[in-house]
Amino acid sequence: MSLSLDKKKSVVAEVKNVLQNSSTLVIAEYQGVTVNVLTIARKQARESNVYLHVLKNTLARKSVEGTKFEPLAAKMQGALIYSASKDPVAAAKVLNDFATASSSIKIIDGMYESNLLSPAGVKQLAMLPSREQLLSMLLGTMMQVPASFARVLAAVRDKKEEEQAS
């Protein structure tokens, strides 16, 4: 089914808007993927705030024109699924998990900010902790510091009390 010109313009505008607010874009071939697997991937993407869509390549190429992701336009051939996110890691993580779960998925390329990523680069990016994970690790560390400091102060106080008692 062919899209009307107005619908095509609407799709391009929507995708361009998503890309302007994204730091990462990853593309992958998805030939032979079942509807069930695709549904699971879309659910995971929604939970991770990732834009995950199958687009016509001509519309995808139009959408990246004038964005930092324009260098990926040359790779947009074949049956592709597009993953974009504001979180630098989330888009790569969703498609990498998707590719790991299904042998029908093959990561083609990606971009983080202005850096082109090979399939191996996308996989490395996917292995990094997400922003939320990093923040929780930082918070955990920050909470341990006052507790450690309090224990040190208590030990010093106890030692001084022992010295005074002797």
Q: Calculate mean pLDDT across residues 115-126.
A: 90
Residues 38, 93 within the same domain: yes
Structural domain total, the chain? 2
What digits encode the pLDDT tens for the residues 16-36?
999 999 999 999 998 888 888
Residue 126 has pLDDT above 80, yes or no: yes
Residues 99, 157 within the same domain: no
Residues 104, 61 within the same domain: yes
Task: Report d(CA 7, CA 48) in Å as an integer.
Answer: 27
Residues 31, 47 within the same domain: yes
* pLDDT for the residue 141: 75
**pTM for this prediction:** 0.75
Say how many C-beta atoms besides its own lie within 10 A of residue 133's C-beta.
11
* pLDDT for the residue 27: 94
Q: Provide the domain limits for residue 153.
A: 130-166
Q: Calculate mean pLDDT across residues 73-99.
A: 90
CATH number at residue 70: 3.30.70.1730
Q: Which is it for strands 51-54 and 106-112: parallel, antiparallel or unpaired?
A: unpaired
Residue 46 has pLDDT above 90, yes or no: yes
Residue 42 CB-density burial (10 A; 0-12 exposed, 13-18 middle, 19+ buried):
middle
* pLDDT for the residue 1: 54
* pLDDT for the residue 104: 82
Closest alpha carbon to 41 in 32, 31, 53, 29: 53
What digits encode the pLDDT tens for the residues 96-111?
988 888 788 899 999 9
Residues 108, 151 within the same domain: no
- Percent of the chain, pLDDT > 90? 39
Residues 81, 121 within the same domain: yes
Q: Calculate mean pLDDT across residues 136-154.
A: 77
Residues 106, 145 within the same domain: no
Task: Report d(CA 96, CA 126) in Å as an integer.
Answer: 7
